[in-house]
Amino acid sequence: MSKLWEGRFSKALDSHADDFNSSIRIDSRMYKQDITGSMAHAAMLAAQGIIAEQDADAIIAELDAILQDIESGSLPIDTAAEDIHMFVETELTKRIGDGGKKLHTARSRNDQVAVDIRMYLREQITEIQQKIKKLVSVLADLAQQNADAIMPGYTHLQRAQPILFSHHILAYAMMLTRDVGRLEDARIRMNRSPLGACALAGTTYPTDRHKTAKALDFDGICQNSIDAVSDRDFCVELISALSIVMMHLSRFSEELILWCSWEFQFIELDDSFTTGSSIMPQKKNADIAELVRGKTGRVYGDLMGTLTMLKGLPLAYNKDMQEDKESVFDAVDTVKMCLDVFTPMVQTVKVKKENMYRAAQKGFINATDLADYLTKKGVPFRTAYKISGQLVGWCIQNGTVLEELPLSYLQQQHPAFGEDVYNEISLETCVAKRISDGGTSPHSVAAQIQFLREWLEGSK
């Protein structure tokens, strides 16, 4: 294919090199941003008297026609083109002749590509934020529907203290609210227009960069033309925020996988989000959750790839930077895909309250509460802690649990024990009494749900 830049060359590009150099398979998805950016550029050129009004009108009308044709499918994107910018400009010139050749005045593909990526990604950020908010709302519902389910809370994956299942689920919802905030922060820094920076040094034409920035909904312009075309920190920042989203989804997936194992049986995943085995008839595997966990690695890879691609580049533009899109688009696509399956999977989870409760009953999960009981009766905490530990040891040797020890035996260990101890160390009491803000008590959980509902309302 002939090149818009072919003037100084006496030979065509080697066909493998041409293919290698081409990015259209990756960047064609930015056709809309490329066209809208060009329209704003043409309008600015005319307003500044750099090109004639009629030329700008013809360019804008034809760019609009090209956009319609791409969207209707009547203009297939030619993968032999070098990139989407070349494709659109070539098509424009094919259609309107010399007028089209004026579009690239006071512009370079270097600022053009930078503007396209920013416009494309800021839209993607909004979409991803909406998907995360949907998940937060599903988690708030799940917590509300299972408000009274008690399960063991873990540290070191050892049973630690009883908690409400809803409390555990809401921990993830809180993490996700911060993910939405991180994406918002990334958008704010991304939303500056590089358009008009040209190749690297600005231009001799009397352009108005603020005009194009405003027309394209940017919050302002990049202040330094070299920075505008050189950095891809906004990609790094976005993939980094997306890596954190994936890290959260991955931990959650890990727990869902554990919880639906035969060993835990705390939940059952809906058949529509599990798969069978080709050989073992009894199997119901949590493939979807496993894949979300697995895909986390690829998003981290996108982050590492982009950071590494950038680390040695001298200013300003280098072709290495064409690689930015493959990574950042992969990260965006992966996160969207994961959220699209993760949310309905969580929404359809069956919670097996009895099994959770049974697991919480064993394992001396109320040993802290037994110590707290004595402390509140005036026994110093360290002494109470020791007595509670000794009682646990005795229970283990004798195959029993704290709540089944006879009062007479308890009183032999310390006279402060009374009949009320049994109520104090019941799982319900252990949970209900953790009334500190953000704790696992039903009151606190209700407050958390309320907070999330207001957050969802406020961030619409």
State the residues that interact with ligand ARG by CB under 6 A: 23, 27, 83, 109-110, 113, 317, 319, 321-322
Closest separation in Å from C-beta 318 to ligand ARG? 9
Residue with smaller CB distance to ligand ARG, 1 or 395: 1
Closest separation in Å from C-beta 232 to ligand ARG? 10
Reduced to 3 states, what is the DSSP secondary structure of residue 150? strand
Show which residues are catalytic. Answer: 156, 277
CA 422 vs. chain centroid, Å, equals 45
Classify residue 373 as exposed, middle or buried by CB count within 10 Å of its CB (0-12, 13-18, 19+): buried
Residue with smaller CB distance to ligand ARG, 23 or 225: 23
Peptide bond into 316 cis (omega under 30): yes
Residue with smaller CB distance to ligand ARG, 322 or 348: 322
Closest separation in Å from C-beta 229 to ligand ARG? 9
Residue with smaller CB distance to ligand ARG, 317 or 373: 317
Helices (H), 73-150: 84-96, 109-145
Reduced to 3 states, what is the DSSP secondary structure of residue 201? coil
Question: Which CA distances in Å does 49 have to 57, 286, 447?
Answer: 13, 63, 60
Residue with smaller CB distance to ligand ARG, 88 or 170: 88
Closest separation in Å from C-beta 334 to ligand ARG? 20
Q: Where are the beta strands (DSSP E) in 244-319?
A: 267-268
Closest separation in Å from C-beta 24 to ligand ARG? 8
Hunting for tokens 């600022």 — which residue is that?
Answer: 111
Residue with smaller CB distance to ligand ARG, 317 or 357: 317
User: If we measure between CA atoms, which residue out of 217, 219, 231, 226 comes closest to residue 197?
Assistant: 226
- Give the number of other Cβ atoms within 10 Å of residue 140's Cβ: 22
Reduced to 3 states, what is the DSSP secondary structure of residue 179? helix
Question: Which CA distances in Å does 269 have to 112, 147, 253, 256?
Answer: 47, 19, 11, 8
CA 198 vs. chain centroid, Å, equals 33
User: If we measure between CA atoms, which residue out of 180, 68, 51 comes closest to residue 125?
Assistant: 180
Closest separation in Å from C-beta 329 to ligand ARG? 12
Relative to beta strand 158-164, strand 267-268 is unpaired
